[in-house]
Amino acid sequence: MNAPASMIRLTTQRQIILEELSKVTSHPTASELYDMVRKRLPRIGLGTVYRNLELMAESGMILKIEVGGTQKRFDATTDEHYHIRCSVCGRVDDIDVPVVKELVAQAKESSAYMIQGHHVEFTGICSDCQKKQH
């Protein structure tokens, strides 16, 4: 099994982590994923799950998102998309609005940086938390 240098091997552990991550849209943290993966791999440790997630994110297999200064969360959807975070319970969902490519073009014009991407995070109150407030 020889993979290109930038790719990582899809070990059984990684395959299961990827499968579990793909099942949910909740952008779980490493410890939430650990609880999911542990049901199928009872002997796996949190550190192993964490290291695999970091490697998988580095190789582009999954997304690592850092929102609102909270714990890192992971996402099996690697297409560019935006997130919305509930300011009450902290849940993170995808938000279906078009990605604004022009922003990157404008940023390139107004900055000497080599722009690699951009990151938009919406904040709000999710429907569950809205219900609890009434």
Angle between helices 30-38 and 46-58 (to 10 degrees): 120
Q: With binding defined as CB under 5 A, does residue 62 bind Zn ion?
A: no
Out of 8, 94, 95, 124, point to the residue binding Zn ion (CB under 5 A).
94
Distance from C-alpha of 34 to C-alpha of 53, rounded to nearest angstrom: 10
Out of 36, 41, 88, 120, point to the residue binding Zn ion (CB under 5 A).
88
Q: How far is CA 130 from CA 29, 63, 94, 134, in A?
A: 23, 29, 18, 7
Binding footprint of Zn ion, residue count (CB under 5 A): 8
Beta carbon nearer to Zn ion, 20 or 75 = 75
In terms of Cβ atoms closer than 10 Å to its own Cβ (0-12, 13-18, 19+), residue 123 is: exposed
Span of 30-38, 53-61, 108-116, 118-126 interacting with Zn ion by CB under 5 A: 118-126
Give least dist CB 32 to Zn ion, A. Answer: 14
- List the structure tokens of 15: 């395959």
Name the residues that contact Zn ion, by CB under 5 A.
75, 77, 86, 88-89, 94, 126, 129
